Structure 1
Amino acid sequence: MNLIRHTISRVALLLIPFIILGSVLIYITFRYIAYDEIDEFLLYEMDRINQHYALYTDVPDVNSIVRTYEVEAPFEAFFADTLLLETGDMEMVPHRELHFSLTHNERHLGIVLHHLMLGDDDIIQGALLLMVGMALLVVVLILVGVTSVTRTVWQPFFSTLGYIRRYEPVVAPDVLPSSTITEFELLNGTLNELLQRLYLNYERTKSFNENAAHELQTQLALIKTTNENLLNRLENDEEAMILAQKSQSVATRASHMLRSLLLLSKIGNREFRQTRPVDVATVAESILAGFGERIAMRKLSVEEHLNPVTLNMDEGLAEVLFTNLIKNAVVHSDSGSVVKIDLTSKSFRISNTAAPLDEDPAVMLQRFKKGKKGNTGLGLSIVSEICTLYGFSLRYTTSDTTHTVEVCFDPLV
């Protein structure tokens, strides 16, 4: 629901108590006017009867006279409400009565005049119809007025919104135009600052990634080269050889970790923007072929069911995504177990057999969550970042010794 419709719906809801209150006030007003008019008419009839009696000493034939009766003494005129049977509809109908006295031949007579009244249900119905009609008229006027005004007054807002939705921080942002409306001017000024900061942050992060990739990888390469030279010179010193091998292993792991961290940073910085159709089945088969030697060494069996699936994404990230998933299953599977891979148009699912987890599987998707073998845990974290980038959903579930990681291409699945 957009802002305008939401505003109109809220206004319509606010009209409900006003309709109720207005209906009550209109009911009271209608009832007061009805009583006042009928009482005035009955008093007029009473005066006319008195005047006629003063001239002719008899009571005229008036339709509003219901009955006459004898009383002991004259009394002040008074009004009363009553119900009379309507013979046509056979229902009780409200009437207004005026009782007054008249002295005729030394006898005191009570005369009753009556007049048909509107029923309370009729008054309530009329009040409700009037208020609902007025409320609908107000809503229609608001709807038409707001819709017509929106096209001109809100145009700067929609222009700004459209630009923000299209903007990518790979280029310097344009300066949003000024507006004569104070709120829009404040909005555009604030967004100009935010977009400029966003662009500068993107450039700084990109520059840091490039510098870190170059400088740190260079230093790690020097360390690895030095370690290799030490290993060649310390062939007769077993203890020194062990230390040099540990240093070489640490340098190799640090190099892999650095590449993974830089990749995570680039993904988070949205630096992968080139997309093309990627044949997932072909990519998966190529990766499995690359792990063929390790699969054979660990005596693993691979059951694959790969249907033709094409995804629009960066080709390099697709390679990283499915490599990490397959590598995770191959490395952590028990020797001699089965790795199952299923690829459909909706998801990529890979299952393997390994020791049960002692904690929630979702925790393993976090960065630097180490497994029992001391792994850094960046592989699944990279998978999670890539899934977030392309709107995929990632699930990691376990059942006893069966571990299943599933990437759903449709997040609603």
Structure 2
Amino acid sequence: MKKLLDQSLRPLVIYAMAVLIVSIPVYFLTINWIWENELDKHHYAIREKLEKRLTSLDLPDSSVASMINVLDKVQPGFSFTQTTAPSPDSSYTLIRFDTFMNDREQFRCLTTDIRVNGTLLRVLIETNMEEIDETILAIAAVTIFFFIVLLAGFVYINRKTSLRVWRPFYETLNSLHAFRLEGGKPAALPASQVTEFTDLNQGLDRLMQASLASYKQQKEFTENASHELQTPLAVVKSKLDLLLQSRSLDQPQMQILEDAYQAINRVTRINKNLLLLAKIEHAQFDNQQNISVAGLLGELSAQFADRFESSSIRYTQQVSEMTLQANPMLLEILLTNLLVNALRYTPAGGSVSVRADQRKLIFQNTGISPLNEQNLFRRFAQASVEHAGSGLGLAIAREICERYNWQITYDFDCGHHHFTVSF
């Protein structure tokens, strides 16, 4: 996951780096071209001065020849040769060994003609470009330095500006994170002068209002339905009790009544569980206190002792002193549902163990095959076709864990089911 600011900044940084990389050779070639032009102008200026001064001296040809001979020997960068026909001027760059510097050097050259006392001379003017290359590199280095400073400043200013511009968005996001349907009130969204953020907040406010209204209706319906069902279910159950005690019924009729009685019991349990889920979702268990997990498990295991014994299931408990801040009823329901779940999926002669590992409580029981993890914590979904239940026990366990920001997970390893609650 990447932040929105990084997503918008990344293309800009990549583009700037690409421009920087391309600009380095462009700067070098441009400055080098400028220097070569300046040297060519300088060479032509030297040519004009040399021709004018030699002509203005009005020396005889022998003296001019002697002077040129001396210049040819003592003045580096000049070479004179007599020619009979004029040739076009030529400017070029070459690299050769320089006897004066005793090293290979780069030169900018101009080959041109001058006329002195009617004699046509071919002149070669050279300028060492070594210092020019150093100047070009220095200018390029300074340019790159300021370019990087400019890029860093751009990134910093863009980030600071973006943080300021996007602050209302992050404030809205924090308000949404704190929003809970069971609270009954919409989140307080911050005011913004930006039109897009204002429209976003208005849309979110309408969405929260609609969600709260729907949640309130669902809550009232669940509570009313569960409450209203309790009385007729109790009446039907009492009537079935009376019929079961009647001696005028034959065996087939008794079996039908027994099946109906079991169905009514199942519906009653489902109704109670649905009512419990509604109360958990609506945060009706607010009172909390410090509870000893080991003590509570000891009480529950004593209640399940007969069921363990009847199924020949061995129960072990390795829980040291672990104290949790929670509602006593919810924690008891959580542990009870996990123990019932362990009993349901443990074959006869198997084992069930509960152990604590740091801030984790692990319920382990022997099993034949892994459970369907997709249906494990869903309401009215069966995790195993071999052991059907109401499909609400683990859903209630997950709801309790979410209520306290705990995490419940499942895995199957080496013939054992593992349900882990991380506090």
- Provide the TM-score with structure 2 as the length reference: 0.82
Match of 1:109 in 2: 121
Deviation at residue 214 of structure 1 after TM alignment = 0.2
Q: Is 1:83 matched up with 2:95?
A: yes
- Give secondary structure in 1 for the equivalent of 2:245: helix
Deviation at residue 115 of structure 1 after TM alignment = 1.6
Structure 1 distance, partners of 2:187, 2:354, is: 48
Structure 2 distance, partners of 1:202, 1:262, is: 15
Match of 1:330 in 2: 343
The 3 A distance-change label for structure 1 pair 252 and 29 is same
Match of 2:388 in 1: 374
- Provide the TM-score with structure 1 as the length reference: 0.84
Structure 1 distance, partners of 2:86, 2:178, is: 92
Structure 2 distance, partners of 1:274, 1:86, is: 96
Deviation at residue 241 of structure 1 after TM alignment = 1.4
Deviation at residue 42 of structure 1 after TM alignment = 1.1
Structure 1 distance, partners of 2:117, 2:230, is: 131
Structure 2 distance, partners of 1:322, 1:89, is: 93
Matched-pair contact (CA < 8 Å) for 1:74–1:102: no
The 3 A distance-change label for structure 1 pair 50 and 394 is same
Q: Which runs of 5+ in 2 are unaligned?
A: none
The 3 A distance-change label for structure 1 pair 172 and 341 is closer
Deviation string for 1:156-209 (max 9, x for gaps)? 445434433333331322664653321121122112112212322332232122
Amino acid at match of 2:94: T
Amino acid at match of 2:364: S
What is the aligned length? 406
Structure 2 distance, partners of 1:125, 1:217, is: 91
Match of 1:27 in 2: 28
Deviation string for 1:231-268 (max 9, x for gaps)? 12355422211111110100111121233344445556
User: What is the aligned counterpart of 2:271 among 228, 243, 258?
Assistant: 258
Amino acid at match of 1:335: A
Match of 2:321 in 1: 308
User: What is the aligned counterpart of 2:104 among 63, 79, 92?
Assistant: 92
- Give secondary structure in 2 for the equivalent of 1:82: strand
The 3 A distance-change label for structure 1 pair 223 and 116 is farther
Deviation at residue 39 of structure 1 after TM alignment = 1.2
Deviation at residue 52 of structure 1 after TM alignment = 1.5
- Give secondary structure in 1 for the equivalent of 2:416: strand
Structure 1 distance, partners of 2:298, 2:146, is: 70
Q: Larger deviation: 386-395 or 241-250?
A: 386-395
Q: Larger deviation: 175-184 or 117-126?
A: 117-126
Deviation at residue 309 of structure 1 after TM alignment = 2.0
Matched-pair contact (CA < 8 Å) for 1:8–1:143: no
Structure ID, larger Rg: 2
| Matching of residues 79-228 of structure 1 within 5 Å | 79-85=91-97, 91-103=103-115, 108-117=120-129, 123=136, 126-127=139-140, 129-141=142-154, 143-144=156-157, 147=160, 150-151=163-164, 153-169=165-181, 170-173=183-186, 176=189, 178-228=191-241
The 3 A distance-change label for structure 1 pair 15 and 269 is farther
Q: Larger deviation: 218-227 or 104-113?
A: 104-113
Deviation at residue 341 of structure 1 after TM alignment = 1.8
User: What is the aligned counterpart of 1:397 among 406, 412, 416?
Assistant: 412
Q: Which runs of 5+ in 1 are unaligned?
A: none
Cα root mean square deviation, aligned = 3.3
The 3 A distance-change label for structure 1 pair 386 and 24 is farther
The 3 A distance-change label for structure 1 pair 63 and 202 is farther
Matched-pair contact (CA < 8 Å) for 2:179–2:187: no
The 3 A distance-change label for structure 1 pair 125 and 271 is farther
The 3 A distance-change label for structure 1 pair 273 and 134 is farther
* Identity rate, percent: 23
Deviation string for 1:32-72 (max 9, x for gaps)? 21112111111111111121222125467595633233445
Deviation at residue 106 of structure 1 after TM alignment = 6.6
Amino acid at match of 1:372: E
Structure 2 distance, partners of 1:202, 1:143, is: 45
Deviation at residue 291 of structure 1 after TM alignment = 0.7
Deviation at residue 105 of structure 1 after TM alignment = 6.7
- Give secondary structure in 2 for the equivalent of 1:233: coil
Structure 2 distance, partners of 1:132, 1:391, is: 53
